[in-house]
Amino acid sequence: LGIRSGSDLTLEAGEIDNTAGKIDSQGETTLTSQNLNNTDGKILSEGKADLTTQAVNNQGGLIQSAASLKLDTQQQKLTNTDSGELNGILAGDSLKLLTGELINDLGYIRGDETHINSHQQTLSNLTGTIVSKKNLQLDSGELNSTGGLIKSDGNMTLDTHGEKLTTAKSGDTKGVISKGTMALTAGDIDNQDGAIISTGAATVTGGELNNQGGTLISEKGALTLSVNQTDNSGGLLQSAGKLTLDTHGHSLTNKNSGDRGGIRSQDDMLITSGDLHNQAGTITNRKIATVNNTQDTIVGTQQIKLITQAFNNQQGNVHSDGNLNLNTQGKRLNNTGDKDKSGKFSARGDLTLDIGELNNDAGFIAADGKTKITSTTLTNKKGLIAGNSGLDIHSQTLINNNGSLKSAKTVNIDTNGQLLDNQHGRIIGDDNTTVTSGKLNNQHGHIQGKKLTINTGQADTDNQDGKLLSTDTMNLNTLQLDNRRGQVRAIGDATINTPKQTNNTGGLIHSDQQLTLKTAELINRETNHPDQGTEAQNLIIEAQQVDNTQGTLQGANRLQAIINQSLKNEQGLVSGGKQLTIEDKTQKLTVNNQQGTLTGSEKV
């Protein structure tokens, strides 16, 4: 039954109903009709086949040519659903489908050199298959290939003409796959739990990109993505060559990458985005990484340069085996962590952060080279900021409560005249340490350097229960020093200038060499115990008033005190070792030495 031809077949008709029927030609086939119903039917040609129709229904049917096949529905609908394993639209050579709306749900389309054009109308490939043995060119409107396969063994060009492309839920064997190069142009792209894979270079141009849990990779070439807002949470963007991602100022989200996800390149990397959200995300490359306008990991084996807007690296990891540079263009950097995992910025070379506000609470910022940070407010509660070859911080208010700022070489901190809060914190340079700030709060804190220089200008220093230590010289300039129960110690010479007051009650101010202390009022009460008092090999004090009640002022070799108003030494000790000199340039000095001691073994 049906229509059979032992050679060529030419068939012209109005509507053709080939339901469960068969049209078979041993030669070439030319078919011209209006609507064609081939439900569960067969149209077979050993030679090339040229079909010109209107709407075609090939549900469960087979349209096949052993040679080339062209089907033109004159922009009418083509339905090719439920093909099963044996049916569909098949060509042994080139395949050309010119259609309107194309429905290939659970359908099968296969050709050699393949061109499909739905004239910007919808193409539905739900759990369907479109396969080309050579190159594939696919032009459509909105394309939904959820659970489907679009595959080319050659190069692939796919263009939805600004409409949405959905390639979600691909599983392990489906998706959009090209064994050659890939050029994909679309509107929004939904690849959630999907796969877009090119063996060669791939270029993807679109609107919003949703790659949550998805895979978008170039296995052997470069990957270029020109899109808008991008969400790669739990997804993978990867290239064997250079990776370029530009979100045109829109946000990039790269959260929760796990061990295999993230943004990865074996070559150079260039990322240009708006806000970058990288919580528990991975960005890694083998050569040079540049992230423009933008957790867990950004890794570069040579160097990384990041030019971003706001950067959220909460519990994230940004690492370079070379230099690492970040510029947020005045926007905020969040590098926070918690007790289980820190946000991390690290480099084996130099690390430079040029940012707005920095929140490094429980975070980690460190370099084997120099670390340089320029910021507005900097918060480092329970965090670590280090540079083995130097640490340089220029900020506004700096909060280092329970935090650590350190270097194996120099530390330089300048808060632009604003608060430096180092309560329970540590600022330590194995070489010189320089602190320039407004008010310095070092309660229970520790600031140390080989040569230690602190200048708070017209602001106070609160060193209650704190430590200011130098293994060489020390220079401290502050309006007022509160050193109650604190320690100020230098191995070398020390100079302390406090125009208003120095309160050393229960504290220690010490130099192994010469200590020069200039202040309006020195309070040195309750310091007659070990590791308390104001003492040096040579001690020079210039003050208006000195209160040494139950205190110790001691120069192991010499003590020179220039006091213009009053010396109160009740039950106190003022000792010059070999020489004690008390000068009164105004001739108005009053001395209260009740039960006190003024002594010098050779000269008083």
Per-residue pLDDT at 328 exceeds 90:
no
Mean pLDDT of 397-413: 98
Q: What is the rounded distance in angstroms from the CA atom of residue 422 to the CA atom of residue 231?
A: 39
Mean pLDDT of 3-14: 94
> Would you say the C-alpha torsion 194, 195, 196, 201 has a positive or negative sign?
positive
Per-residue pLDDT at 314 exceeds 90:
no
Mean pLDDT of 547-558: 95
Asked which of 7-16, 145-154, 327-336, 466-475 is least confident by mean pLDDT, the reply is: 327-336
Q: What is the rounded distance in angstroms from the CA atom of residue 169 to the CA atom of residue 205?
A: 21
What amino acid is encoded at 119 in this protein? H
Query: What is the percentage of the chain residues whose pLDDT exceeds 70?
Result: 96
Per-residue pLDDT at 131 exceeds 90:
yes
Per-residue pLDDT at 420 exceeds 70:
yes
SS (H, E, C) 521-585: EEECCCCCCCCCEEEEEEEEEEEEEEECCCCEEEEEEEEEEEEEEEEECCCCEEECCCEEEEECC
Q: What is the rounded distance in angstroms from the CA atom of residue 602 to the CA atom of residue 604?
A: 7
Tokens of residue 133, six digits? 């043995």
Residue 157 is predicted with a pLDDT of: 99
SS (H, E, C) 216-231: EEECCCCEEEECCCEE
Give the number of other CB atoms < 10 A from CB of residue 586: 10
Q: What is the rounded distance in angstroms from the CA atom of residue 228 to the CA atom of residue 211?
A: 12
In the DSSP assignment, the letter for residue 401 is T
Per-residue pLDDT at 604 exceeds 50:
no
Q: Which residues of 156-186 are buried (b: 16+ CB within 10 A; e: fewer)?
A: bbbbbbebbbbbbbbeeebbbbbbbbbbbbb
Mean pLDDT of 490-507: 98
Residue 48: pLDDT band with limits 50, 70, 90: very high
Domain ranges of the chain: 298-450
Residue 294 is predicted with a pLDDT of: 43
> pTM for this one?
0.73
Query: What is the percentage of the chain residues whose pLDDT exceeds 90?
Result: 82
Three-class secondary structure of residue 599 per DSSP: strand
Mean pLDDT of 448-453: 98
Residue 341 is predicted with a pLDDT of: 82
Phi, psi values for residue 445, rounded to 5°: -95, 175
Give the number of other CB atoms < 10 A from CB of residue 243: 26
Per DSSP, the residues of 26-84 read SS-EEEE-SSEE-TT-EEEESS-EEEE-SSEE-TT-EEEESS-EEEE-TT--EE----T
Distance separating the N- and C-terminal Cα atoms of the chain: 135
Mean pLDDT of 244-260: 90
Q: What is the rounded distance in angstroms from the CA atom of residue 511 to the CA atom of residue 353?
A: 37
H helix runs in 80-173, sequence order? none
Helix, strand, coil abundance in the chain, percent, nearest 5 = 0, 50, 50
Average pLDDT, the chain: 94
Three-class secondary structure of residue 199 per DSSP: coil
Burial class (CB in 10 A: 0-12, 13-18, 19+), 479: middle
Q: What is the rounded distance in angstroms from the CA atom of residue 362 to the CA atom of residue 375?
A: 18
Per-residue pLDDT at 187 exceeds 90:
yes
More confident residue, 89 or 299: 89
Residue 307 is predicted with a pLDDT of: 76
Mean pLDDT of 88-103: 98
Q: What is the rounded distance in angstroms from the CA atom of residue 344 to the CA atom of residue 281?
A: 11
Asked which of 282-296, 501-515, 563-577 is least confident by mean pLDDT, the reply is: 282-296
Location of structure tokens 């950097």: 333
pLDDT tens, residue by residue, 359-404: 999 999 999 999 999 999 999 999 999 999 999 999 999 999 999 9
Residue 266 is predicted with a pLDDT of: 87
285: nearest Cα among 265, 255, 315, 261: 265
- Please say whether the beta carbons of 322 and 348 come within 8 A: yes
Mean pLDDT of 405-426: 98
601: nearest Cα among 574, 572, 583, 580: 580
Residue 249 is predicted with a pLDDT of: 87
Q: What is the rounded distance in angstroms from the CA atom of residue 214 to the CA atom of residue 235?
A: 5
- Please say whether the beta carbons of 353 and 326 come within 8 A: yes
Residue 438 is predicted with a pLDDT of: 98
Q: How many residues does the chain have?
A: 604
Q: What is the rounded distance in angstroms from the CA atom of residue 163 to the CA atom of residue 186?
A: 6
- Please say whether the beta carbons of 195 and 214 come within 8 A: yes
Residue 297 is predicted with a pLDDT of: 56
Residue 25 is predicted with a pLDDT of: 96
Residues 6+ apart with CB under 8 A from 454: 434, 435, 437, 440, 447, 461, 468, 475, 476, 477, 478
pLDDT tens, residue by residue, 261-305: 999 988 888 888 888 888 777 887 776 666 654 434 566 656 777
Residue 295 is predicted with a pLDDT of: 39
Q: What is the rounded distance in angstroms from the CA atom of residue 600 to the CA atom of residue 263?
A: 74
Mean pLDDT of 116-124: 98
Q: What is the rounded distance in angstroms from the CA atom of residue 218 to the CA atom of residue 198?
A: 5
Residue 457: pLDDT band with limits 50, 70, 90: very high
Q: What is the rounded distance in angstroms from the CA atom of residue 370 to the CA atom of residue 151?
A: 50
pLDDT tens, residue by residue, 206-220: 999 999 999 999 999
Residues 6+ apart with CB under 8 A from 246: 225, 226, 227, 270, 271, 272, 273
Tokens of residue 469, six digits? 């230590």
Q: Which residues of 430-462 are buried (b: 16+ CB within 10 A; e: fewer)?
A: bbbbbbbbbbbbbbbbbbbbbbbbbbbeebbbb
Q: What is the rounded distance in angstroms from the CA atom of residue 303 to the CA atom of residue 147?
A: 39
